[in-house]
Structure 1
């Protein structure tokens, strides 16, 4: 039975996930920033002096990294976290890193008596703290049995999409293709409404009530309307995340010899946004690539 959980990285997502898990499990957290460890301690999370110390007694270890290379380095590089994992434990990968190298990482973890649970998630910090995340999972039945209580505590929607690590990454790649395209399309649509002299608030209300609606239009639309404000929209998902994720989509599509021209076009908008210094803004700021200045 899973009772001890380690969370490596107590950033924007790691901290609320650790806090949520601490409601049910004994949770130990580590972050290179001491102030984040102290903040987690105020929320019932035990602090550790190192990542190795954090995972020593854990049945399940949550990690959030930006790339597959970072995951490889964390587990098998200088940190060598894999050598400190408890026998029979699972490493739960919550990041979107693509499928490249996942088989190798899972194989090397098995040599250390641990298993990889491929569980990329969506939802943002507020939903993480409320246990309201969407998580897609690829894992062996044995690994899933260990990880399931942790995943259930974090997710309102848990989709088991395959029985091997990499299946979760594959589905999340497909998901991010659609999300990136929908955000870019919403930006173009609202920029066109502006150019045609329409009231953008009324336009958004009408669009979300009809067949043109999508989750991303309804979710990002109101923030898109704030993109030209002095402070911009609240940052709930950074623009440069879609630079990374649509790059993963492109890599996967090329490997499959599949043409994805619409995703490629959306990727160019996000790349331009990053080049224009918008990378740290909310991804809804991509409208400023289409229309640098509000037209009406």
Structure 2
């Protein structure tokens, strides 16, 4: 595998793990984030540091792992946007959850500058990101896939190739986020319901994780509740965005998604009572407050 010169833009829980994986794979990796401490932390772990304007023309790839479409567009085409500065044939991996139409628009705008674009939303959580074991739901031209191959090898365990142009990856991510968001909310409802019936959270996890009612999200998030640890691996407020995107897509398709809408309302309620920056497992606190009970870590 040849060494590439890469900019990792967005060093949150997922983007930081991807940057770590790129460094570990031997790529010359420059990290950028609005939080300077994250950039300094990555530099201490082997990342490179330089103004992006100084190195953009020599980059082989840019991995964009920011919060949403607006931030993605700002990174690529804002006042200091990187896309017009890249050399022809450089590739952008866009990892945020966005609408398929937005992904197609970014691909077209990148193409105007001779830049390749991979619609590359990710799944797996911060732990798998740090291990280079993400799942990537991708869509891109054959040329973009070829340019991104080393990035995939460094950051992903599974790469789903869903189409030969942008859009299909983001569509699949929307489907995944529908299920993931609903599953977390359903876990919060179930674990709290169990408490009302005298089942403590630890017993809930022990039993349900071995029964048909389990899910990956239940097994991953419910232990946070048992531990009373709501430090955000994935925050409540992310679901306001992601399930909002799902419902926007559903509306444009004239598709009713009532279960998604109900789950979104629980996250909205959680954010409204000040839990927006807590781990998304904290959605269970909404149910607990309504039932007049306390979960571990609640006062």
TM-score tier by shorter-chain length is over 0.9
What is residue 294 of structure 1 aligned with on the other side?
293
Supply the distance in 2 between the matched residues of 1:198 and 1:30 (Cα, whole angstroms). 46
Shift of 1:295: 5.3
Equivalent runs, 1:67-216 vs 2, <5 Å: 67-216=68-217
Shift of 1:206: 1.5
Question: Is the contact between residue 4 and residue 25 of structure 1 (CA under 8 Å) also seen in structure 2?
Answer: yes
Q: Unaligned stretches of 5+ in structure 1?
A: none
Equivalent runs, 1:28-39 vs 2, <5 Å: 28-39=30-41
Supply the distance in 2 between the matched residues of 1:221 and 1:108 (Cα, whole angstroms). 42
Cα deviations across residues 92-123 of structure 1 (Å, max 9, x unaligned)? 00111222322222111111010110111122
Question: Is the contact between residue 69 and residue 96 of structure 2 (CA under 8 Å) also seen in structure 1?
Answer: no
Partner secondary structure for residue 101 of structure 2:
coil
Q: Unaligned stretches of 5+ in structure 2?
A: none
Question: Is the contact between residue 13 and residue 233 of structure 2 (CA under 8 Å) also seen in structure 1?
Answer: no
Equivalent runs, 1:206-245 vs 2, <5 Å: 206-226=207-227, 229=228, 232-245=229-242
Cα deviations across residues 30-84 of structure 1 (Å, max 9, x unaligned)? 33444333322222211112x3234321111111222212222222221132221
Question: Is the contact between residue 28 and residue 54 of structure 1 (CA under 8 Å) also seen in structure 2?
Answer: no
What is residue 259 of structure 1 aligned with on the other side?
256
Shift of 1:2: 6.4
Equivalent runs, 1:45-64 vs 2, <5 Å: 45-49=47-51, 51-64=52-65
Describe the shift of the 1:43–1:224 C-alpha distance in structure 2 as closer, same or farther (beyond 3 A).
same
Aligned residues: 291
TM-score, normalised with respect to structure 1: 0.92
Shift of 1:208: 1.3
Instruction: Write out the 4+ residue segments of structure 1 that deviate beyond 4 Å after TM superposition.
Output: none
Supply the distance in 1 between the matched residues of 2:182 and 2:17 (Cα, whole angstroms). 28
CA RMSD of aligned residues (A): 1.8
What is residue 27 of structure 2 aligned with on the other side?
25
Supply the distance in 1 between the matched residues of 2:261 and 2:75 (Cα, whole angstroms). 31
Equivalent runs, 1:261-276 vs 2, <5 Å: 261-276=258-273
